Amino acid sequence: MRFEIVKCHGSGNDFPLIDARDIALDEAEWAVVARALADRAGPVGGDGLLLLTAGDEVHAFGMVMRNSDGSEAETCLNGVRCVARAGFAALGIDQAQVRLKTSSAFAAHDPDLAPGVYTVRETAGPAGMDVTAWPMRIRTDRLIEGVVPALSDTIRFTAVAMPNPHLVAFVDTVDEAELVRIGTICEGAPDWLPNRANVSFVEVRGGDLFVRTFERGVGLTDSCGSAMAASTHAACLTGRIPTDRETVVFNRGGLVRAQADADGVVTICGNATFEWAGSVEVDLATRVAFGLVVTARYPDEVAAWEAAKRVAG
């Protein structure tokens, strides 16, 4: 089956994106497509697969994000921006309520974050603090700077749902080996955390944040939008940064501007960069992608984002 795709990224979190509004595949088939297209050893590669889906009476359109292992995430805020851009273009609008798996997000085309960088503002939340809803079976229903003995005797985590589950730890310096160790435990879906969780180590740099994330269903990633939102909320909740003040959140892939309010609603302003467009074949039986044809490239957008990263960092 041949798919028209756009390769895009939000803050370095990269995806193939498909307009799936008129494509009839079931859940298992879409999982196959996600694994084939997100495979870094294949012709496309990515942190997952984004689908622009049909709207309803409340939402102009929807988004589905499948991780590179084929599983469906509750949300992906970097992905929301990319799907919103595609939805805006398809429908001739510049703002929309976007349906997610278990919630919705507001998205609007915003003034450029930097010259030539297509920018979308999105609002998500309120953040959920009840870990029994994940479920996370520990001795409390709310975890704020608490130890999880199954993960570490010393690292303190704050548990936030955005609405996908995040464990956020503030550290002096990110230890990637330790992050991978803890993320791998969570990825194994232990009895006390059957639906897994994203794990982030966060450095506070003045009034800004640097976030490094082991993403559920993906692994160590250069960027995770919901992790940046969860980290911003956790930083406000624990008094590390002020509530209702815009903060720059950095990651390996770039940056976004984020702001959390007292109710746990987080607004993120970041890029939705298109790199190229084309088509690719996916054999659903063999689960392999092949025959990539690139029909358009967007070098000016790619260069604009790289320039913005250099200035920021």
Could you read off the pLDDT of 16-60 as tens digits, one per residue? Answer: 999 999 999 999 999 999 999 999 999 999 999 999 999 999 999
Is 76 an annotated catalytic residue?
yes
d(C-alpha 262, C-alpha 167), whole Å: 20
Contact 111, 119 (CB under 8 A): yes
**pLDDT at position 308, please?**
86
Residue 313 has pLDDT above 80, yes or no: no
Class of domain 2-108+273-312 as given by CATH: alpha beta
The mean pLDDT of 260-271, rounded to a whole number, is 95
**Alpha helices by DSSP H, 7-76:** 27-38
90 bridge partner residues = none
Looking only at the bridges linking them, the beta strands covering 95-99 and 13-19 are: unpaired
Write out the H or E segment, with its range, that includes residue 108: strand 104-110
Q: What residues does CATH 3.10.310.10 cover in the chain?
A: 2-108+273-312, 131-270
Q: Which CATH superfamily is domain 131-270 in?
A: Diaminopimelate Epimerase; Chain A, domain 1 (3.10.310.10)
Instruction: Read off the tokens for 100.
Output: 């997610």
Residue of 76, 82, 236, 269 marked active site: 76
Please tell me the predicted confidence (pLDDT) of residue 217. 85
Which run of H or E residues covers position 236? helix 225-237
What's the predicted TM-score (pTM) here? Answer: 0.87
At position 29, the amino acid (one-letter code) is E
Output 33 or 312, whichever has higher pLDDT: 33
Active site annotation includes 224: yes
Catalytic residue among 8, 82, 186, 224: 224
Give the up-direction half-sphere exposure of residue 262: CA atoms within 13 A in the CB hemisphere.
Answer: 0
Please compute the mean of the pLDDT values over residues 260-289 and round it to a whole number.
96
Which pLDDT score, from 0 to 100, does residue 312 have?
56
Q: What is the bridge-based pairing of β-strands 13-19 and 288-297?
A: unpaired
